[in-house]
Chains A and B, each alone.
Chain A
C-alpha cells in the first residue's frame, strides 16, 4: 500500500492537543459524538474496537501507532458490514498538530477496501459528524444534538 490517504477529514479545535487526544481515546466520551458507539483503543500492538450501543462489535483492528498526543493509527475492519471486509483491512489515522492556540485534527483513511466505494458518501458525512461533535463537546462542554448519519446501516 502507498501512504497517500484516499480521504482526509480536517477540523480545527481551540483546545490543547492533549484534551482532544483524551476525548478520542476515552471510551466514556466517544458515544456522545460517535452516534452512541464506543471507541476502544489498546496500547500499541493491542486491539482496537468500535462497540455499538447494542453491544455488538461494529469494527475491529490493531493499534499500529500510539504516539500521545500526536498520532493514533489503527487498522479498521468494519466487521458489521460483510461487503466492506477485505483481506487487507483499511487503516485510519488521527493526527493532531498544534498550530498555536488551535489544533488541527486530521483523520486520514488509507487502503480502503474495494467494498467501501458505495459507502464513500456516508463515510464523509459520518466523519464530518464525528469531527463536528468532537469540536462541539470540547469547545462548549456540551455534546452536539444527536444527528443520525445517513446511508446504509
Chain B
C-alpha cells in the first residue's frame, strides 16, 4: 500500500471549502481547467475531465459527510500503466482550527506509480485552491 498525505491550512470556513471542493465551476478555476462531474451521493459515479486529455480519472463516491469528509474511489483513465494499477482511494478531511480550516488529503493505492504521480500533482492543486480562497485568484497554470 502506498500512501500520500498532504495537509494545508486555509483562511476560510468549512462551508466555503466544501463548496470549493465540490462545485464544478469553482473547482475548474484552481484545478488548472479540470472539471469534475458528480452529484455527490454515495454510490454515484465521479469523473474528472481535463481540457487536454478528456476523461482523465473516474471513480465512485464512497462517503459523503458535507463540510467534514469526502471519500472517492479513483482510477486514472488516460495513462495505461496507471489505469492498470486499478482503483485508489482519496479522502478529503476538513477540520476547523480557529479562524482557519485544516484540509488533509490522503490518497492510497496498492499501485506505487499512481501515488508517485499524484504526489507531484496535489501540492500544485491544493496550493492553487488556497490562493483562490484567500486572494480570489488561483495560481497560474504550470508551464
CB distance B130 to A132 under 8 Å? yes
Q: Mark B121-138, 1 if CB is under 8 A from A, else 0.
A: 001100110110011010
Stretch in A54-62, A65-73, A123-131 with 4+ CB within 8 Å of B: A123-131
Chain A residue nearest to B125 in the complex (CB):
A12
With the chains together, A131 CA to B9 CA distance in Å?
A: 9
A-chain residues with CB within 8 Å of residue B131 when the two chains form the complex? 14, 135, 139
Which of the four size classes fits the interface of chain A? 20 to 34
CA of A131 to CA of B130, assembled, Å: 12
Contact residue range for chain B? 20 to 34
Please indicate which of the listed interface residues B9, B10, B99, B124 has the most CB atoms of chain A within 10 Å of its own CB: B9
- Chain A contact residues, CB within 8 Å of chain B: 10-14, 99-102, 104, 124-125, 128-129, 131-133, 135-136, 139-140, 144-147
Partner pick for A128 among B8, B99, B140, B143, CB 8 A cutoff: B8
Q: How far is the CA of A12 from the CA of B100 in the complex (A)?
A: 19
Q: How far is the CA of A140 from the CA of B137 in the complex (A)?
A: 11
Given the known interface contacts A14-B139, A124-B5, A128-B7, the answer about A135 and B127 at a Cβ–Cβ threshold of 8 Å is: yes
